[in-house]
Amino acid sequence: MSGRNTVIRSLHDLGLAAWFGGSLMGAVGLNGAARQEGATESARARIASAGWTKWVPVSAAAIGAHLYGGGGLLAVNAHRVTHQKGVAASTAAKTALTAAALAATAYARILGKKIDLASSDDPRDAEKAARHPVDTDGARRQLACVQWVVPALTGSLVVLDALHGEQQRPLEQLHGMWERARSATPLMH
């Protein structure tokens, strides 16, 4: 990197921190509080749903910031991705994990909305739920699982970010570029 990229790096890192932290706090704290305070399964679902609904705009902003910052970092580090051994592989892994985390986050939201609709006291929601029946027990089991998948995937992204940070050290860059050149040139083996 020839210059500083503080803004895009901050967007990337803060967005990922909020995505990871929010999903972990929701799975542990919000869902735990809903289980403790809700007298019935329906009440627990309403409590958890109300909390997750309040988090959605913050989560969306965090994910957007992370993706924008990640795209910016990819653009300014394109030369390292193509010329430094190991960077393309870790970037591909990070891209795949990001896509999986996005999919898991979206799926958790879909399941949450289904459970919310099925457990709502609003007659309009009951009417919608009747038109689109949901296996709430199955949806709850799936949601309980996928809500742990999101922090696991985003936590893995934090680890890959640490690897990328190590790969940016000057000696690592020099070694990686040397190894890439050596592997591309048969006479240098």
- Fill in the DSSP letter of residue 84: S
Tokens 């007659």 belong to 123
CA 67, 31, 21, 53 torsion-angle sign: positive
First to last CA, the chain: 28
Q: pLDDT band for 124, please (50, 70, 90 cuts).
A: confident
Q: pLDDT band for 1, please (50, 70, 90 cuts).
A: very low
- Fill in the DSSP letter of residue 185: -
The pair of three-digit structure tokens given for residue 189, joined into one six-digit string: 């083996």
When pLDDT is averaged across residues 62-88 and rounded to a whole number, the result is 92
Strands of 38-156, DSSP E:
none
When pLDDT is averaged across residues 120-134 and rounded to a whole number, the result is 74
- Report domain extents, the chain: 6-181
The pair of three-digit structure tokens given for residue 48, joined into one six-digit string: 């958890």
Tell me what the pLDDT averaged over the chain comes to: 87
CA 180 to CA 84: how far, in whole Å?
6
